[in-house]
Amino acid sequence: MPARAPGRFANGWRRARSVRCGRCGFWTNRPIWPQAIERPLEEYYVPATLDWNLWLGPAPERPYHPAYVPFKWRGFWDFGTGALGDMACHIMDAAYWTLDLGFPARVEPESTPLFKETAPAGSRITYTFPGKGTRPEVKVVWRDGSLYPARPPEVAEDAAWPADRGGGQLWIGSDGKLVAGTYGDEPKVLDPAKQAELAAHPPAPKYPRSPGVYAEWIAACKGGAPTGSTFDGHAGGLTSMVLLGCLAVRLGRVLETNPATGQVTNVRVPDEFIRPTYRSGWVL
């Protein structure tokens, strides 16, 4: 789990806090691993350096196959959560923290054809977050599979769009539009005059700059301050919000949820999604 993007780039995201954001768009070129496939049936010899039984863990038994290890497991529901689960915890982190998104009230999925065991090749998911405090309702649109948002009119025709095809963010608010990279890096207001003003007169830092995820983790393990992404706080909430999108895609259904608890209210979630049957010898 990454350190909070606004903490690492406090000056730029301090400006974002003053923009009453109504819509956000996020995109990634992932998956860069196979998705939208059936379970492979070929059998291979297990590499001598791999304990296949241990690697499988509680997942259903199957022969070793290079379709899983070491990198491609991300697309299989038994082991990963597809492009959304892999990248949204990075790309949506800044919005979740800065706008205090919490749980959505509605998650509407669209995707390429669904497969039983793997995530789709591409998806577009619209989250609706109710207003909170002085913040109005926020619509968040996630795109993966190299589905990119339309070019904003503020971006010149000869300029690269998206600026980072690997992944990025577009925030649309009452005071303008802001773009940033996958990890919340290099936030920039699309209005040249406002961006020049911000560059010339950056606001005073409001949050301390993170020393980095590794340094945070080691310090916390030694009894220091908690990390910026604690399991019972930021990281747990962000991950749960992202997984609601994965659930909507996997079911192919619009989800209505209780924004106070994240509980799905309109669809019965299959028991095996919540409490899967573990292989013999594995318990939780």
282 lies in some domain: no
| Separation of alpha carbons 11 and 8, rounded Å | 9
- Say if 90 falls within a structural domain: yes
Average of per-residue pLDDT across 248-252: 97
Q: pLDDT digit string (tens) for 30-88?
A: 999 999 999 999 999 999 999 999 999 999 999 999 999 999 999 999 999 999 999 99
283 occurs within a structural domain: no
Residue 209, domain extent = 5-274
Reported as a single tens digit per residue, the pLDDT across 140-171 is 999 999 999 999 999 999 998 998 889 999 99
The yes-or-no verdict on residue 19 having pLDDT over 70 is no
pLDDT (0 to 100) of residue 46? 97
Residue 186 lies in a domain: yes
pLDDT for the residue 267: 96
Residue-level pLDDT at 11: 44
Q: Is 284 part of any domain? A: no
In this predicted structure, what is the pLDDT of residue 229?
87
Place of tokens 């649109």: 141
Backbone angles phi, psi at 95, to 5 degrees: -70, -40
Q: Any idea which of 135-149, 194-208, 241-255 has the lowest mean pLDDT?
A: 194-208
123 is a domain residue: yes
pLDDT for 248 beyond 50? yes
Contact 20, 173 (CB under 8 A): yes
- pLDDT > 90 fraction of the chain, expressed in percent and rounded: 78
Q: Would you say residue 280 lies in a domain?
A: no
Residue 220 carries which side chain, given as an amino acid letter?
A: A
Give the pLDDT score at 9.
41
Question: How many domains in the chain?
Answer: 1
pLDDT at 179 over 80: yes
Q: What is the pLDDT of residue 203?
A: 86
Predicted TM-score (pTM) of the model is: 0.90
Q: Look at residue 21 in the predicted model and tell me its pLDDT.
A: 60
Query: Within 10 Å of residue 244's Cβ, how many Cβ atoms?
Result: 19
Residue 255 lies in a domain: yes
Comparing 19-23, 134-138, 275-279, the range with the smallest average pLDDT is 19-23
CA angle 160, 120, 79 (to 5 degrees): 110
CB 75 within 8 A of CB 35: yes
Q: To the nearest whole number, what is the mean pLDDT of the chain?
A: 91
CA separation for the pair 217, 223 (Å, rounded): 10
Residues in a beta bridge with 172: 23, 177
User: What pLDDT sits at residue 20?
Assistant: 58
pLDDT band at 195 (very low <50, low <70, confident <90, very high): very high
User: What CATH number does the domain containing 104 carry?
Assistant: 3.30.360
